[in-house]
Structure 1
């Protein structure tokens, strides 16, 4: 396609045995950090789709945990769109990564096939999987079951230098973190594809994922005093982790209008996510104070129902007492109405172009139930796109593109409630935070010689209202981090 670059991973050994994070790390321009955060050319504002559609697995604040643990062998290709067309939502300044599932086509003769996979690695790492496909005339049934266990170690060292507001002297703060733990994953999927005629497809699927991560973390912090010595610090030992359950169902009807690419698709999707991150921590403070105990629980619940209709026609143990000082309820209601159109046509034998425009009306309602703070924000935006492809020779292609992207704040970025991080760090959202917008320009050259691929890309991005964490000293050495639109 003129607006994307596709990478086949069906025959990749890393895909057959590894996680989605392992596969994405092998894709040019894509990075995945140790916490599962995905970035495209250094920009973390990446939208991840499955077969061109949103998935509850890859949305919300628990996405990184899923990417680190979900098996990758169900995907055949990875499409990278740094300047997506108007057919895609403009969310995410980095672009779109589209995961293409392995196809299930009805067989000419009734067939039943299956496979069993098992892999063992060092440091107590293993995974097993079972897959099966049954074809009966016009019906195809597919099932997958995967189990995975991984272990991990982490090490981080940070040094922060600040100017004391009273004396004007420079003082240093040091933080060392290390830990180890394990990840466990269970993935189950079932799909049915029924094609009563050559022009009609009825499709449905169900999936469920359980992810669990448990570990022991050690955290040492020291802040120098003006004139020498240690002014404050702590030694924290935390035991905890993450547990998540993600489920979803899809029902789809696709009607072909008689020519390739001329389809009418109607779909309803339901995604449900439940994630809990918590830890028990013992804290020893400097100056000396009684040993403290902390219990922190962060819960993220997400239920999404999506209905879409797309017409495409080519023209060419123990009791715990919640602490009300650090517990809060925050409701976010965001509605986005969108209308888009794309037009693609060739200009001669070597040149082709695609034009697109997407119009969106967003309505946002915020309700900080605990503090009684409410806010609203309504805005209308237009997102144009343009793609140009020139076939220089049979082996060489030159491409140019432009798109306007938007990165909307996450609920945590909007919640004004003070969130406890550790004794010397708090975080709060900003209910007045506006979406970050990016104008993206790109020019690329590609050449393929037999099995060797060469490519070079020149790109420029202009971002307005960029999300910037602003750190403020709120007294007694406690720092508050809050996002602002400073770019």
Structure 2
């Protein structure tokens, strides 16, 4: 009993995993503790806490050796959840911005998912997670994931090609290639990616209607992919301390989507059929992206300059053909067609200058970001004369322009064991939302001050305390503003709101690290948070999700990460998080302030097997959660992976079996059944087998001399 209790205490309080010896003979407690502690080995600093950010080593790390792509790597990071649709959620509440080598990239959500799916873990040196960004970063970034690609310091040419084949009821293949050529002055990089195949997703809902009938909604969405991307880069060393970087990229996402929907309603006893309909929705969404980045870095003595510029064009096109029929008679009930056109143009320019003042370091910068969005959605409905006519109630044109002018100043100073960084950022936003068809124009013009403070205290060379305070702003995204109807089913759609206000978040974070062990806590309040809420029409039985601002929400979380090596053939990583959230939610004359608490447990158990094989068990569990209006069911999955390298490491094979028990689904139940008695579920088809094969080749000759890094890179540990 004492030994079992000791094992639990050491695991929970000390963060250690013990390998016990088989014995029946009693031993003194001190001897047992000494024996057990001798058998514990803490892993080298895979996770490191550096001035408010968590840094994870990826390349050469056993914990990530079996990951098929960058998405699999992100799933293993503490505090980060990767949704079934590829969405990212940090610390249970924040959608993080993704950086590449410390630089923001103007990519759409779909382009990011395509990029990360085709990015091999072998290309990633490290990943940084910043939960509470300082004033140096754009105010809209409440969390940052910085992916640092592996630097290649060899001259000559190298390459790597890989293919990943996924199989469940459908098949999909992700293929990518990386080719580099380096000289002393120039470095060329080419990345290509191609995805083909099919994925599946299901949406189910059960709703008690106003007339006491029960309606079941079942939707199956099958998506066929034909996507490719090309990225070309060139780096030129102008002088010893000056460098130019040019990056050109394009991605093309071409899909066909076939959705099959049934609406089946019965009486309250589920015996007599009230109505039953079927719906077929054939869509052909396309996205074509073009972008260019030109960057310049220079150093003069102790002064550094970095200039980042970018141009991006994102074009979306989609046509839909939707037919609703009576499932009992086969009669055509509704038939409409849509044509959607969406164009987004983004132009940014940013300059950062840093140097030394007294015994500290200063940094100042300015940024200009101009975004223009043009969107039109046309509905044609089949009338009784069997002719398509324009549906003026749903046809709309929407334009949105947003200009952001920002500047910041930070100062860093080390005082004995303290390292202090204080900053202030100002952002002026001017926006115009024009719902042309509705003849509604909304203008915004506001200035926001965003201060930050970061204090790091070195307890010992291996122990560190960190405190950070910041204020951030979240502007409404285009989908939240767009007043168009996007349908889940014939009786279920969501619509944006051009009148939404930006939200502001004040947050305080405290973290402690001791070698590989880290623990962090965050609390704060967000004013005017944006959300979608359901509105039910009892006459038509239509359930619409509308956008609005809430008065505020309070949040708090505590997260810990414990990577360990048990012995030579077994290492592990354990992540535990506890979360709290309370929204003030006015709804139908009542204000709901329901506190929501939940926890997550995730981790990996990695085993080094004979013959060079590596076996990995990944797991994730989230307890019941939700929000002020919905109760959420638990979410979980278990993944298995097997990896081996061949031909002196040039050939790498990985076999993954994801979500082996088919348990990953998002389920929500509406709390106030007197208003809406509704429950829904999203299933993403994550249960699948994935085979990944990669091969490296090239004729690199010798290592080039490392270029001097600018101050930003040094602070980022690059």
TM band (smaller chain): 0.7 to 0.9
Q: 120-129 or 362-371, which moves further after superposition?
A: 120-129
Question: What is the aligned partner in structure 2 of residue 246 from structure 1?
Answer: 289
Pairwise mapping of residues 28-67 of structure 1 onto structure 2 (< 5 A)?
A: 28-57=78-107, 59=108, 62=110, 65-66=113-114
Contact 1:279–1:295 at 8 Å: present in 2 too? yes
Counterpart pick for 1:148 among 195, 208, 217: 195
Does residue 336 (structure 1) correspond to residue 404 (structure 2)? The answer is yes
Which structure has the greater CA radius of gyration?
Answer: 2
User: For 2:216 and 2:166, how far apart are their aligned partners in 1?
Assistant: 35
Question: What is the aligned partner in structure 2 of residue 477 from structure 1?
Answer: 541
Q: Residue 305 of structure 1: CA displacement?
A: 1.6
User: For 1:347 and 1:231, how far apart are their aligned partners in 2?
Assistant: 75
Counterpart pick for 1:130 among 177, 180, 188: 177
Counterpart pick for 1:346 among 393, 414, 418: 414
1:178-210 CA-to-partner distances (Å, cap 9, x unmatched) read 344443432211111111321111111111222
Q: Cα–Cα, structure 1 residues 114 and 66, in superposed 2: closer, same or farther, change >3 Å?
A: closer
Q: Residue 331 of structure 1: CA displacement?
A: 0.7
Q: Residue 414 of structure 1: CA displacement?
A: 2.2
User: Number of residues paired by the alignment?
Assistant: 466
Question: What is the aligned partner in structure 2 of residue 205 from structure 1?
Answer: 247
User: For 2:103 and 2:215, how far apart are their aligned partners in 1?
Assistant: 45
Question: What is the aligned partner in structure 2 of residue 456 from structure 1?
Answer: 519
Question: What is the aligned partner in structure 1 of residue 572 from structure 2?
Answer: none
Contact 1:353–1:387 at 8 Å: present in 2 too? yes
Question: What is the aligned partner in structure 2 of residue 270 from structure 1?
Answer: 311
Q: Residue 308 of structure 1: CA displacement?
A: 1.8
Q: 250-259 or 118-127, which moves further after superposition?
A: 118-127
Q: Residue 159 of structure 1: CA displacement?
A: 3.0
Secondary structure at 2:285 match in 1: strand
Contact 1:203–1:251 at 8 Å: present in 2 too? yes
User: For 1:72 and 1:415, how far apart are their aligned partners in 2?
Assistant: 35
Q: Residue 391 of structure 1: CA displacement?
A: 2.3
1:114-142 CA-to-partner distances (Å, cap 9, x unmatched) read 33334445454434333222222211112
Contact 1:231–1:287 at 8 Å: present in 2 too? no
Does residue 468 (structure 1) correspond to residue 531 (structure 2)? The answer is yes
Q: Cα–Cα, structure 1 residues 377 and 185, in superposed 2: closer, same or farther, change >3 Å?
A: same
What runs of 5+ residues in structure 1 fail to find an aligned partner? none
Q: Residue 374 of structure 1: CA displacement?
A: 0.9
Question: What is the aligned partner in structure 1 of residue 140 from structure 2?
Answer: 91
Question: What is the aligned partner in structure 1 of residue 668 from structure 2?
Answer: none
1:385-411 CA-to-partner distances (Å, cap 9, x unmatched) read 122222223332222212212221122
User: For 1:322 and 1:117, how far apart are their aligned partners in 2?
Assistant: 49
User: For 1:43 and 1:63, how far apart are their aligned partners in 2?
Assistant: 22
Q: 393-402 or 378-387, which moves further after superposition?
A: 393-402
User: For 1:322 and 1:268, how far apart are their aligned partners in 2?
Assistant: 46
Q: Cα–Cα, structure 1 residues 179 and 416, in superposed 2: closer, same or farther, change >3 Å?
A: closer
Q: 215-224 or 37-46, which moves further after superposition?
A: 215-224
Pairwise mapping of residues 170-209 of structure 1 onto structure 2 (< 5 A)?
A: 172-209=214-251
Contact 2:214–2:268 at 8 Å: present in 1 too? no
Does residue 26 (structure 1) correspond to residue 68 (structure 2)? The answer is no
Q: Cα–Cα, structure 1 residues 357 and 172, in superposed 2: closer, same or farther, change >3 Å?
A: farther
Q: Cα–Cα, structure 1 residues 340 and 235, in superposed 2: closer, same or farther, change >3 Å?
A: same
1:6-65 CA-to-partner distances (Å, cap 9, x unmatched) read 2233346968974443332222211121222211122243222233333222x4x64565
Secondary structure at 1:85 match in 2: coil
Secondary structure at 1:308 match in 2: strand
1:335-383 CA-to-partner distances (Å, cap 9, x unmatched) read 11111112222221x3212111111111111111122211111111111
Q: 408-417 or 353-362, which moves further after superposition?
A: 408-417
Counterpart pick for 1:114 among 151, 159, 179: 159
TM-score w.r.t. length of structure 1:
0.85
Q: Residue 307 of structure 1: CA displacement?
A: 1.7
Does residue 101 (structure 1) correspond to residue 149 (structure 2)? The answer is yes
Q: 351-360 or 408-417, which moves further after superposition?
A: 408-417
Does residue 217 (structure 1) correspond to residue 259 (structure 2)? The answer is yes
Q: Cα–Cα, structure 1 residues 396 and 62, in superposed 2: closer, same or farther, change >3 Å?
A: same
Does residue 436 (structure 1) correspond to residue 503 (structure 2)? The answer is yes
Q: What do you get for the CA RMSD once the two structures are aligned?
A: 3.0
Secondary structure at 1:412 match in 2: helix
Pairwise mapping of residues 216-365 of structure 1 onto structure 2 (< 5 A)?
A: 216-223=258-265, 225=267, 229-232=272-275, 234-259=277-302, 262-285=303-326, 289-314=331-356, 315-316=360-361, 323-325=390-392, 326-348=394-416, 350-365=417-432
Contact 1:443–1:458 at 8 Å: present in 2 too? yes
User: For 2:318 and 2:66, how far apart are their aligned partners in 1?
Assistant: 30
Q: Cα–Cα, structure 1 residues 454 and 227, in superposed 2: closer, same or farther, change >3 Å?
A: same
Contact 1:154–1:178 at 8 Å: present in 2 too? yes
User: For 1:4 and 1:97, how far apart are their aligned partners in 2?
Assistant: 10
Q: Cα–Cα, structure 1 residues 117 and 428, in superposed 2: closer, same or farther, change >3 Å?
A: closer
Secondary structure at 1:103 match in 2: coil
Contact 1:69–1:184 at 8 Å: present in 2 too? no
Question: What is the aligned partner in structure 1 of residue 469 from structure 2?
Answer: 402
1:100-127 CA-to-partner distances (Å, cap 9, x unmatched) read 233355x5xx522233334445454434
1:84-115 CA-to-partner distances (Å, cap 9, x unmatched) read 0101112154x12222233355x5xx522233
Q: Cα–Cα, structure 1 residues 247 and 20, in superposed 2: closer, same or farther, change >3 Å?
A: farther
User: For 2:267 and 2:444, how far apart are their aligned partners in 1?
Assistant: 44
Q: Residue 481 of structure 1: CA displacement?
A: 2.3
Q: 429-438 or 294-303, which moves further after superposition?
A: 294-303
